[in-house]
Chain A
């Protein structure tokens, strides 16, 4: 049978298909999806997340917390990734039907632009902390100095877009995974085998749900913005499959490995523990490759989100936003040095504001479009001339109310906060949207016509 050439009517004015669908000929394999997602996962922050679990749980419980948290994240990402696979557009373009054009700009910036820039800043600072731990005497390795040169390194691959991210992930991922295994080895060696490890009492125990919230909060932004990567997937299911596999296997393995090190050494600073245990250059390279392969994705997502309302080439947004992130990291380094407070505070903040928007997106694509009788492959098929609302008030209302309820109305201990927000957003949106549809109430305010540049 002859292959049918895709008719692609767009103009990629801003580069890297920031506002337009990725053409079929540019799509990539399942392996590339897997590597690129895993590149995001492979970072010192993930190991530190695991080491926090090591201070809070017995080994067996820590593993179950990691499994439960990863399962929740798999579910969220498993629902958002196919949206990118179907539309082949970034998360922020996909937000247009559920929030309207202005809504996608505002919520895209709130959901991803600012948090991803925040992550970029925090990870850049973390990089400085790790390098200063490894080379405490070197003037180029102070938290301040390393934050600056490390941040600049991370901007390089993000500047080149998806190709840069994937290229670097190919190099960094296997390395980081084996080094995470190094953590398991240290734990087993110093803890007197798995039986010895299992009996070590955690320093500051917390309830199971708190641990799951921490795991989910750590990566919930990534779960919501999976489309940024899997819009490049060859098949719709590739993104979801790559996402779920990397979480259920690799994240559980990394978190457990880090928890083991902390249980044995009592050391929350993983790079320091690795160095002390004899990882040699491995600890240094782990810091560089791990942080780099994660942080370039953060600033990349920021650039995609901001590109919706700043009509310049995406690569210039990387440079400008990146410069701001690096400067902020340097300021954090000056003020806090190597203290952990900014990292912990930032994790708490993330769990609060983002998931409701993800719930609205999931509800609109999976439930409302299904209710309207649209087939899966017909959903979110943007073309030049496609009309979208300026504001979809139901999306705004649902996301705001869900966030307020999830954060302040549900008492502590009433489930996992970010998951509550997501579910509330989902339920509110679908209930109100169907009710309005039946009552003949319009959800769209104003009209925006997408031009051939995707703007």
Chain B
């Protein structure tokens, strides 16, 4: 199924972003442990949230149900992406390197944008519900 393949590929791309966050968490841990914790929290939830889509859609043959599952997982990616965008540049999470918070911000922005597109595609192609 074409849409299923799209979901698998786009979910894989989204999963790259939280992995970057986890790396950043490791980097900043010794500078500001709270920044490390918040990167870790956003990264882990986003990663697990997206990874779970694979077993859930593996045997799914119904296009509408597939779209609904895609919507569920992309909401998680979107809301956490927005959360990261809103929090990562806050003064409380500042670290020695000014670039790191901006990289984390950019990573969250990208995941949010891609998940918005996935939501749009799921609704458009499978007539999935935005509220499932």
Interface residues in chain A, defined as those with a beta carbon under 8 Å from any beta carbon in chain B: 28-29, 31-32, 162-163, 166-167, 170-175, 178-179, 181-182, 185-186, 189, 277-282, 285
Report the count of interface residues on B (CB-CB < 8 A). Answer: 25
In the complex, how many angstroms separate the beta carbon of A228 from the nearest chain B beta carbon? 15
Contact, CB under 8 Å: B87 / A178:
yes
Chain A binding site: helix, strand, loop or mixed by DSSP?
helix
Contact, CB under 8 Å: A280 / B90:
yes
Chain B positions within 8 Å of A173 at CB level: 79
B29 on the A face (CB < 8 A): no
Contact, CB under 8 Å: A32 / B132:
yes
Contact, CB under 8 Å: A171 / B78:
yes
Among the stretches B4-12, B14-22, B37-45, B120-128, the one at the interface with A is B37-45
Given contacts A163-B131, A281-B90, 11 further A-B contacts (CB under 8 A): A28-B132, A163-B130, A167-B131, A175-B79, A175-B82, A175-B83, A178-B87, A185-B37, A279-B87, A282-B86, A282-B90
- CA gap between A416 and B78 in the complex, in Å: 41
Contact, CB under 8 Å: B92 / A277:
yes
Contact, CB under 8 Å: A167 / B86:
no
B55 on the A face (CB < 8 A): no
- CA gap between A179 and B41 in the complex, in Å: 12
Contact, CB under 8 Å: A182 / B87:
yes
Chain B positions within 8 Å of A285 at CB level: 86
Listed from nearest, the 8 A-B pairs whose CB atoms lie closest are A278-B92, A280-B90, A278-B91, A175-B83, A166-B131, A174-B79, A170-B75, A185-B34
Chain A positions within 8 Å of B37 at CB level: 181, 185
Residue among A32, A170, A185, A285 having the largest count of chain B Cβ atoms under 10 Å: A170
A-B contacts, 6 listed (Cβ < 8 Å) = A174-B45, A175-B79, A175-B86, A178-B83, A185-B34, A279-B92
Chain B positions within 8 Å of A185 at CB level: 34, 37-38, 92
- CA gap between A170 and B78 in the complex, in Å: 9
- CA gap between A36 and B49 in the complex, in Å: 18
- CA gap between A245 and B114 in the complex, in Å: 30
Give the residues from 81 to 130 in chain B that come closer than 8 angstroms, CB to CB, to chain A: 82-83, 86-87, 89-94, 130
Give the residues from 47 to 97 in chain B that come closer than 8 angstroms, CB to CB, to chain A: 72, 75-76, 78-80, 82-83, 86-87, 89-94
- CA gap between A186 and B89 in the complex, in Å: 16
Contact, CB under 8 Å: B131 / A32:
yes
Chain A positions within 8 Å of B93 at CB level: 278
Chain A positions within 8 Å of B132 at CB level: 28-29, 31-32
In the complex, how many angstroms separate the beta carbon of B32 from the nearest chain A beta carbon? 10
- CA gap between A178 and B80 in the complex, in Å: 9
Residue among A28, A163, A282 having the largest count of chain B Cβ atoms under 10 Å: A282
Chain A residue with Cβ nearest B41? A178
Chain B residue with Cβ nearest A188? B34
Residue among A31, A162, A185, A277 having the largest count of chain B Cβ atoms under 10 Å: A185
Q: A174-B80, A175-B82 are in contact. Are A280 and B42 (CB under 8 A)?
A: no
Chain A positions within 8 Å of B78 at CB level: 170-171
Contact, CB under 8 Å: B76 / A174:
yes
Chain B positions within 8 Å of A181 at CB level: 37-38, 41
- CA gap between A186 and B91 in the complex, in Å: 12
Contact, CB under 8 Å: B131 / A171:
no
In the complex, how many angstroms separate the beta carbon of B53 from the nearest chain A beta carbon? 13
Chain B positions within 8 Å of A179 at CB level: 87
Contact, CB under 8 Å: A280 / B131:
no
Contact, CB under 8 Å: A279 / B90:
yes
- CA gap between A186 and B92 in the complex, in Å: 9
Q: A31-B72, A185-B92 are in contact. Are A178 and B131 (CB under 8 A)?
A: no
Chain B positions within 8 Å of A172 at CB level: 79
Contact, CB under 8 Å: A174 / B83:
yes
Chain A positions within 8 Å of B79 at CB level: 170-175
Contact, CB under 8 Å: A178 / B91:
no
Residue among B75, B130, B132 having the largest count of chain A Cβ atoms under 10 Å: B75
In the complex, how many angstroms separate the beta carbon of B128 from the nearest chain A beta carbon? 12
- CA gap between A178 and B83 in the complex, in Å: 8
- CA gap between A377 and B86 in the complex, in Å: 46
Contact, CB under 8 Å: A280 / B83:
no
- CA gap between A281 and B93 in the complex, in Å: 12
